[in-house]
């Protein structure tokens, strides 16, 4: 036990030492012209009350190919 107490406590775990870091995203991903209704849990078009999910012009969902948390989904295609 004395040996482990004498070891350098500043050593960092290998996964932490090798991990890539990215700047935190500070942008706004809210769809323009819509507001989120917390009670109903949906995005609503300002002024009309129509639902974003029913709009033919809604933004399409993205895949996880751009996953920057782990990068595991950016493997060769």
Residues forming beta bridges with residue 36, ordered by sequence position: 43
pLDDT tens digit sequence for 41-69: 999 999 898 999 888 888 777 665 555 56
Q: Kindly indicate the confidence band of residue 30, based on its pLDDT and cuts at 50, 70 and 90.
A: confident
Query: In the chain, what are the domain boundaries?
Result: 31-55
Cα–Cα dist 74/77, whole Å: 8
In percent, how much of the chain has pLDDT > 90?
Answer: 17
Residues forming beta bridges with residue 10, ordered by sequence position: none
Q: Kindly indicate the confidence band of residue 20, based on its pLDDT and cuts at 50, 70 and 90.
A: confident
Q: What pTM was estimated for this model as a whole?
A: 0.47
DSSP letter assigned to residue 69: T
Cα–Cα dist 61/36, whole Å: 17
8 Å CB contact between 34 and 45: yes
8 Å CB contact between 43 and 34: yes
């Amino acid at each position: 036990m004395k040996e482990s107490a004498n070891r350098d406590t500043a050593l960092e775990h290998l996964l932490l030492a090798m991990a890539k870091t990215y700047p935190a995203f500070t942008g706004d991903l809210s769809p323009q012209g819509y507001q989120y209704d917390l009670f109903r849990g949906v995005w609503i078009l300002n002024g009309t009350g129509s639902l974003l999910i029913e709009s033919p012009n809604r933004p399409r969902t993205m895949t996880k190919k751009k996953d920057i948390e782990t990068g595991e989904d950016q493997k060769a295609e």
